[in-house]
């Protein structure tokens, strides 16, 4: 993994401008506000003047790790986001992440591991076979979506770094760059955004590093170029735009527990029986469709993934470790 990067494989070589149609041109073409051509991407949902995402990550669906519910549209997935680095409203990331540059990208690996250093995204991706997985996603704010991610199991990457026996947790850090991430100029969170998993959670085959959605590169607002997806946990565990992975002996600090420890625990397993201090977690609002008349649906323990993950927490009091 420490070999020099082969410049021939740089995805940054794909000129986004070739695919770029600015808003004025769209207006001239009379298609502003309409679905974006054959790709089905709504250009405006992605943020006016944002280049449409590139079809770089077409990958076969892993049916064994996919739910059968209908996925949300790319428009929904890319226009209703939480990414405080780009603002605190759900519509802010799509607008404010337009100019964000997710290439070139590298990730620093440090802590309790034999293989450490700085690795380009290409180094990281080269040996990994990508697959599509349709996952149920659930935010602590009691809304949900179904998303066809493209990525690979985090555990496969972790093995390449050969964590030592002292590594009990894996910590993740988002890019700190207030020039590109205007939200980092406001002290709403203690930047940079950090998250962590216990090693067995990180190694679980459901835990994904995602680089795409619907076969396209991740829209910036969804955490380009690489983000974590942990489908049995509240969305805030799914840290975006990762620049550091650290193997630690002690439970790492996490941004949301740092901001409000009584509201956002380290474990954050989706649990309809444990209410958020300010609202119920028993039901959820599914984003999309005709949400005007949409009924709230019951929230499932571990977001429906209990048969796969409940055993990770045997013997733990999940009311205490929420």
Ligand X SMILES: Nc1nc2c(c(=O)[nH]1)N[C@H]1C(S)=C(S)[C@@H](COP(=O)(O)O)O[C@H]1N2
Binding site for ligand X (CB under 6 A): 81-85, 139, 174, 193, 222-223, 235-236, 238-241
User: Among 78, 82, 220, 255, which residue sits at the site for Mo ion (rule: CB under 5 A)?
Assistant: 82
∠296-300-303 over CA atoms, to 5°? 105
Q: How far is the CB of 143 from Mo ion (least distance, A)?
A: 8
- Regarding 226 and contact with Mo ion (CB under 5 A), the answer is no
Closest CA to 75 of 113, 111, 34: 34
174's contact among ligand X, Mo ion, none, with CB below 5 to 8 A by partner kind, is ligand X
Q: How far apart are the first and last CA of the chain?
A: 36
Rounded to whole angstroms, the Cα distance separating 129 from 250 reads: 31
Give the integer Cα–Cα distance in Å for 197 and 199: 6
The answer to whether residue 139 forms part of the interface with Mo ion (CB under 5 A) is yes
Among 102, 111, 163, 235, binds Mo ion (CB under 5 A): 235
Strand partners, 229: 208
Stretch that binds Mo ion, among 61-69, 202-210, 228-236, 309-317 (CB under 5 A): 228-236
Binding segment toward Mo ion, per CB under 5 A, in 51-59, 127-135, 202-210, 227-235 = 227-235
Q: How far apart are CB 141 and Mo ion at their closest, in Å?
A: 6
β-pair type (283-286, 143-153): parallel
Which 3-state string (H, E, C) describes 32-72? CCCCEHHHCECCCCCCCCCCCCCCCCCCCECHHHCCCCCCC
User: Which partner from the list ligand X, Mo ion, none does 239 bind, CB cut-off 5 to 8 Å by kind?
Assistant: ligand X
Which option in ligand X, Mo ion, none does residue 238 bind, with CB closer than 5 to 8 A by kind?
ligand X
Residues lying near Mo ion in the complex (CB under 5 A): 82, 139, 235-236
């Amino acid at each position: 993994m420490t070999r020099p990067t082969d410049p021939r494989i740089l995805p940054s070589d794909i000129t986004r401008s070739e695919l770029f149609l600015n808003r004025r041109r769209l207006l001239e073409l009379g298609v502003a506000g309409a679905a974006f051509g054959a790709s089905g991407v709504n250009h405006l949902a992605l943020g006016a003047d944002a280049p449409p995402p590139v079809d770089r990550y077409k990958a076969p669906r892993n049916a064994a790790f996919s739910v059968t519910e209908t996925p949300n549209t790319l428009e929904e997935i890319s226009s209703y986001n939480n990414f405080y680095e780009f603002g605190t409203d759900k519509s802010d990331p799509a607008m404010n992440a337009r100019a964000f540059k997710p290439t070139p990208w590298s990730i620093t690996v440090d802590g309790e591991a034999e293989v450490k250093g700085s690795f380009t995204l290409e180094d990281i991706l080269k040996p990994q076979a990508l697959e599509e997985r349709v996952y149920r996603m659930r935010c602590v704010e009691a809304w949900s979506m179904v998303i066809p991610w493209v990525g690979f199991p985090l555990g496969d990457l972790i093995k390449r770094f050969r964590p030592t026996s002292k590594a009990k947790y894996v910590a993740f850090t988002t890019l700190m760059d207030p020039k590109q991430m205007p939200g980092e100029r406001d002290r709403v969170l203690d930047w940079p955004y950090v998250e962590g998993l216990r090693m067995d959670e990180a190694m679980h085959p459901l835990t994904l590093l995602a680089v795409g959605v619907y076969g396209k590169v991740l829209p910036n607002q969804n955490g380009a170029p690489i983000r974590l997806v942990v489908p049995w946990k509240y969305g805030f565990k799914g840290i975006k735009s990762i620049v550091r992975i650290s193997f630690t002996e002690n439970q790492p600090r996490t941004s949301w527990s740092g901001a409000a420890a009584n509201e956002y625990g380290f474990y954050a397993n989706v649990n309809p029986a444990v209410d958020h201090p300010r609202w119920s977690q028993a039901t959820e609002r599914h984003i999309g469709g005709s949400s005007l008349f949409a009924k709230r649906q019951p929230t499932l323990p571990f977001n429906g993934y209990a048969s796969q993950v409940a055993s990770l927490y045997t013997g733990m009091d999940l009311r205490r470790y929420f």
